[in-house]
Amino acid sequence: ILADLGTLELACGNLDAARASQEEARGYLLALHDDEGVMMVLQGLCLAALRQEDLLAAVSFSTDALTRCRLLGNSRIFAYGILNAALCASTLGEHECAAKLHGAADALFEQRSEVLWRIEAEFRDLDHIRLRQSMSDSVFVTAYETGRSLSPTDATNLVSRHRSEEHTSELQSLTNL
């Protein structure tokens, strides 16, 4: 219930309340060993952190969720993790990487015939618009289509390269501003 409340708070723009509810839910879910619940809450925490422009936390939540998905073999939540990684890459200015990850995430959702939740769809759609404006439409489409052909392993490797030591230093410098 706390996780759902956090999602509603996020949708309403109450970001502090969203993160507080989802952080509390994460604690309970960890204690209950509800791995799928933890992964879902981490996705919501990433989105809230992105809205709050807390990029270090967003990347941390996204990385934790993707790691758990990979270790537990959860392909349904994995697509959301790739989407969150795309949003983080875009915020970091890694536009080509973001476009590829968006393509990979969309392909994974389509393979599962899954419709995105409204909040994730809004984040994705707005990011597609921003990327098309910053990269040009044709460059975005090329990168996006390349991403659609990535295997889940290749998408994970792209995220790992994106979160290299260079970007970790970059992220840490953001906390010192």
Query: Each residue of 117-138: b (16+ CB within 10 Å) or e?
Result: eebbeebbeebbeebbeebeee
Q: Give the chain's length.
A: 177
What mean pLDDT is predicted for residues 31-51?
95
In this predicted structure, the answer to whether residue 164 has a pLDDT above a threshold of 70 is no
pTM above 0.75, yes or no: yes
What mean pLDDT is predicted for residues 65-82?
89
